[in-house]
């Protein structure tokens, strides 16, 4: 079983990438479990054709965690992709990070964490220990950083690299960086910039996903690109991403950049 | 009355803001205290307060309720549990005259807005005490916060205050708390000043109306100066910043209270000196003994006032302080007034006699 997690700045396209990755892998006949770890709970929506599935934390809140079965939390989407949404408290109250921990404990107890590939789609910033949960022992062993060429996005990716580096120092940790995925914003020289960033943090650019109108159109139809436009170039890109990630044997411990390194890196690449 | 002077008791003066605050708030005897947090936070404090009450021969039970938060409350927020618990407190019989709500580490961490929940009008004052567990400071911070919270229930005095004193921030967990209060009452009696209010010990919510009618506030220790300042701002009451320690310290205390109250204290001081002299004569059999002062226990710090008090007493009794003397522990906290010294000297004599 391969367990991977996608991390990156909010709004960078993690969920779109994750859903299309899951869809592409499912087309190959693999058993996929995608777990959305974001209180917004919209990670699996395109796989579920627009349905908002009940979140684990909504169920815990309504019923308590004693009376929940696997069928209550796992929903079959496109090509049998099994979808779970962690959910979270109402915005501005409680502790979403602790919610992620409780979700993992429940999924563990329900023996729901299985399949050929588990894809964890985690919210933008690793704001507390709870959101680092998927990186901890026993869960995702390969982290993929999703970023565009925008500096804020690279900055967020660098921060997550820090978390990976810290966690990988722990004796029993198996968490490593699988690679960097460039989800392009059509910035000039974007591919080179992200590739160079990946190299500098001791990783590599594993996929370049060009910006495509197909993504928006597919989303309007509440589907992944892989499902809505299976013949499109963009679908081919996601299938290629799936093959690369599934076959990826080369992971690394990242060496995140210091703030001044990040700034001088920016000056090298951005035309001013 | 618990007269065990074991130095281990002094651990009571450190620790969690909750314990400090509750040592004050549970002495408003018709109030209920709600601890907004896991059940364990209430349990520890209940046990400590209950044991302390029992050792002071008080067969009361501290009125504590817990919101009994569980993991789900932490994830989704604990404000609802607080609402429910406040309602439960209000449904108790007899209805509490006031309710104090204390926050713990975890609710402060997840950002529950305790104050907003408390602010809803309910007919009975519900006061948020910003304890916040360890995030709010230590035991002492808890005491200060609680005193200020209780003071918020008192209305500024409109009538002219009458010659009297408040005792502010008595250490309700110390074994000699009532003896110490009695000693202050005795000393103030020399100046014709009575006790207006023990703020806060064994009082009712209603008693707090009197808080502003004293002419002087006597703080238990200098660390309470921010409370003294607050009371001065709100009620115009001047304060003395500490209970007296030592022979000369006790006389200076009389002078200071006299000065603040516009009373000539010279007769009172004269009488007290004579009283001290008579007290010391009771211990004249120890004259010439060799003693060596040391901290009560390597794990404990000394009360900074204790060394001066001991040295002064040793000189007055003609004792020799030398490294080869009988080991005598510094008292913690420093003894209050002349009566406190007398109790300390009784212990010295036991040690010196062997």
Nearest CA-CA distance, residue A67 and chain B, Å = 14
> Rounded to whole angstroms, how far apart are CA atoms A190 and A212?
15
> Rounded to whole angstroms, how far apart are CA atoms B240 and B243?
8
User: From chain B, which residues contact A within 8 Å (Cβ)?
Assistant: 71-79, 109-112
CB pairs under 8 A between A and B: 42
Which residue in B75, B111, B112 is closest to A98 by CB distance? Answer: B75
Point out the least confidently predicted range of A98-112, A129-143, A211-225. Answer: A129-143
Backbone angles phi, psi at A232, to 5 degrees: -70, 160
pLDDT in tens, B75-107: 999 999 999 999 999 999 999 999 999 999 999
> Rounded to whole angstroms, how far apart are CA atoms B171 and B54?
16
User: From chain A, which residues contact B within 8 Å (Cβ)?
Assistant: 57, 60-61, 64-65, 88-90, 93-96, 98-99, 102
Residues in chain A closer than 8 A to B78 (CB atoms): 94
Say whether B74 and A95 touch across the interface (CB within 8 A).
yes
Backbone angles phi, psi at B172, to 5 degrees: -65, -15
Say whether A95 and B75 touch across the interface (CB within 8 A).
yes
Burial class (CB in 10 A: 0-12, 13-18, 19+), A253: middle
pLDDT reported for residue B8: 47
Query: How far is residue A56 from each of residues A67, A121, B136, measured CA to CA in Å?
Result: 12, 15, 34
pLDDT in tens, B149-208: 999 999 876 678 899 999 999 999 988 999 999 999 999 999 999 999 999 999 999 999
For A4-13, give one letter per residue: b (16+ CB within 10 A) or e: bbbbbbeebb
Which ipTM did the prediction report? 0.76
Please state, for a pLDDT cut of 70, what percent of chain B lies above it.
Answer: 94
For residues A151-175, average pLDDT: 87
Tell me which of A98, A109, A128 to substitute to probe the interface with B (most B C-beta atoms closer than 10 Å): A98
Residues in chain A closer than 8 A to B72 (CB atoms): 60-61, 64-65, 102
CA B290, chain centre distance (Å): 34
> Rounded to whole angstroms, how far apart are CA atoms A31 and B100?
55
pLDDT reported for residue B295: 85
Nearest CA-CA distance, residue A147 and chain B, Å = 29
Residues in chain A closer than 8 A to B73 (CB atoms): 94
pLDDT in tens, A195-208: 999 999 999 999 99
Residue B335 has pLDDT above 50, yes or no: yes
Structural tokens at position B351? 């040690």
Strands (E), chain A: 2-8, 32-37, 75-76, 82-85, 117-122, 142-147, 176-183, 205-209
Say whether A98 and B72 touch across the interface (CB within 8 A).
no
Nearest CA-CA distance, residue B72 and chain A, Å = 7
For A96, the closest chain B residue by CA position comes to: B75
pLDDT in tens, A24-33: 999 999 999 9
Contact B105, B111 (CB under 8 A): no
Structural tokens at position A158? 């660098």
pLDDT reported for residue A28: 96
pLDDT reported for residue A169: 81
Residues in chain B closer than 8 A to A61 (CB atoms): 72, 76
Residues in chain A closer than 8 A to B71 (CB atoms): 98, 102
Residues in chain B closer than 8 A to A64 (CB atoms): 72
Say whether A61 and B76 touch across the interface (CB within 8 A).
yes
Nearest CA-CA distance, residue B40 and chain A, Å = 19
User: What single-letter DSSP state applies at residue A99?
Assistant: H
pTM assigned to the model? 0.83
> Rounded to whole angstroms, how far apart are CA atoms B198 and B160?
20
Structural tokens at position B341? 């010294």
pLDDT reported for residue A265: 87
Contact B201, B167 (CB under 8 A): yes
Query: Does residue A185 sit in helix, strand or coil?
Result: coil
For residue A10, what are the contacts with CB-CB under 8 A and spacing of at least 6? A123, A124, A125
Backbone angles phi, psi at A37, to 5 degrees: -115, 60
Nearest CA-CA distance, residue A48 and chain B, Å = 26
> Rounded to whole angstroms, how far apart are CA atoms B342 and A206?
82
Burial class (CB in 10 A: 0-12, 13-18, 19+), A45: buried
Reported as type and span, the H/E element at residue B216 is strand B216-219
Say whether B77 and A94 touch across the interface (CB within 8 A).
yes
**CA-based angle B189:B158:B146, to the nearest 5?**
70
Residues in chain A closer than 8 A to B76 (CB atoms): 57, 61, 89-90, 93-94, 99
**CA-based angle B165:B61:B19, to the nearest 5?**
65
Say whether A89 and B72 touch across the interface (CB within 8 A).
no
Tell me which of A66, A86, A91, A93 to substitute to probe the interface with B (most B C-beta atoms closer than 10 Å): A93
Strands B64-66 and B31-36: parallel
Nearest CA-CA distance, residue B73 and chain A, Å = 7
Residue B5 has pLDDT above 60, yes or no: no
> Rounded to whole angstroms, how far apart are CA atoms A92 and A109?
29
Point out the least confidently predicted range of A61-70, B83-92, B100-109, B211-220. Answer: A61-70
pLDDT reported for residue B305: 83
Domains and CATH numbers, chain A: 2-271 (3.40.50.300)
Say whether A60 and B72 touch across the interface (CB within 8 A).
yes
Positions of A marked catalytic: 9, 14, 40, 125
> Rounded to whole angstroms, how far apart are CA atoms A110 and A166?
30
Say whether A95 and B71 touch across the interface (CB within 8 A).
no
Say whether A94 and B71 touch across the interface (CB within 8 A).
no
């Amino acid at each position: 079983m391969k367990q991977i997690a996608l991390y990156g700045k909010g709004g960078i396209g993690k969920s779109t990438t994750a859903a299309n990755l899951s869809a592409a892998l499912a087309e190959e006949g693999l058993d996929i479990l995608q777990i959305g770890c974001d209180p917004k709970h919209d990670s699996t929506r395109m796989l579920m054709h627009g349905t908002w599935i009940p979140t684990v934390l909504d169920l815990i809140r309504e019923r308590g965690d004693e009376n929940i079965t696997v069928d209550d939390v796992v929903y079959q989407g496109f090509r049998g992709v099994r979808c779970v949404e962690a959910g979270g408290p109402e915005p501005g109250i409680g502790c979403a990070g602790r919610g992620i921990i409780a979700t993992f404990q429940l999924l563990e107890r329900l023996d729901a964490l299985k399949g050929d590939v588990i894809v964890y789609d985690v919210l933008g910033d690793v704001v507390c220990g709870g959101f680092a949960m998927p990186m901890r022992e026993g869960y995702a062993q390969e982290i993929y950083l999703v970023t565009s060429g925008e500096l804020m996005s690279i900055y967020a990716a660098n921060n997550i690299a820090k978390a990976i580096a810290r966690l990988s120092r722990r004796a029993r940790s198996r968490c490593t960086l699988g690679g960097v995925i460039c989800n392009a914003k059509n910035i000039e020289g974007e591919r080179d910039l992200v590739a160079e960033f990946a190299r500098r943090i001791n990783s590599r650019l594993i996929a370049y996903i060009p910006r495509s109108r197909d993504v928006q159109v597919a989303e309007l139809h509440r589907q992944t690109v892989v499902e809505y436009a299976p013949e499109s170039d963009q679908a081919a890109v996601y299938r290629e991403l799936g093959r690369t990630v599934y076959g990826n044997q080369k992971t690394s411990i990242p060496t995140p950049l210091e703030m001044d390194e990040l700034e001088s890196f920016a000056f090298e690449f951005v035309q001013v | 009355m618990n007269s065990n002077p074991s130095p281990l008791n002094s651990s009571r003066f450190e620790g969690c803001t909750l314990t400090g605050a509750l040592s004050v708030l549970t002495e408003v005897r018709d109030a209920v205290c709600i601890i907004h947090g896991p059940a364990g936070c209430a349990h520890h404090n209940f046990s400590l307060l209950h044991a302390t009450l029992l050792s002071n021969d008080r067969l009361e039970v501290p009125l504590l309720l817990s919101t009994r938060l569980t993991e789900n409350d932490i994830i989704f927020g604990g404000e609802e549990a607080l609402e429910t618990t406040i309602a439960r407190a209000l449904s108790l019989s007899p209805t509490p005259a006031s309710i104090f709500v204390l926050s713990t580490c975890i609710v402060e961490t997840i950002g529950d807005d305790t104050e907003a929940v408390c602010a809803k009008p309910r007919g009975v004052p519900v006061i948020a005490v910003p304890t916040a567990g360890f995030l709010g400071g230590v035991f002492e911070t808890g005491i200060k916060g609680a005193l200020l919270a209780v003071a918020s229930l008192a209305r500024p005095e409109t009538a002219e205050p009458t010659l009297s004193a408040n005792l502010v921030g008595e250490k309700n967990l110390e074994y000699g708390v009532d003896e110490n209060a009695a000693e202050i009452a005795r000393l103030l009696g020399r100046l014709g000043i009575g006790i207006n209010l023990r703020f806060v010990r064994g009082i009712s919510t209603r008693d707090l109306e009197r808080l502003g009618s004293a002419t002087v506030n006597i703080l238990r220790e200098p660390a309470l100066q921010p409370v003294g300042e607050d009371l001065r701002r709100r009620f115009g009451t001047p304060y003395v910043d500490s209970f007296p320690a030592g022979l000369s310290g006790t006389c200076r205390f009389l002078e200071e209270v006299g000065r603040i109250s516009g009373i000539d204290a010279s007769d009172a001081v004269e009488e007290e000196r004579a009283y001290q002299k008579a007290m010391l004569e009771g211990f004249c059999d120890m004259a010439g003994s060799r003693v060596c002062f040391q901290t009560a226990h390597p794990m404990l710090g000394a009360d900074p006032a204790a060394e001066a008090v001991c040295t002064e007493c040793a000189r007055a009794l003609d004792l020799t302080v030398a490294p080869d003397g009988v080991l005598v522990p510094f008292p913690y906290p420093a003894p209050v007034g002349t009566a406190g010294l007398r109790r300390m000297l009784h212990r010295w004599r036991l040690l010196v006699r062997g």
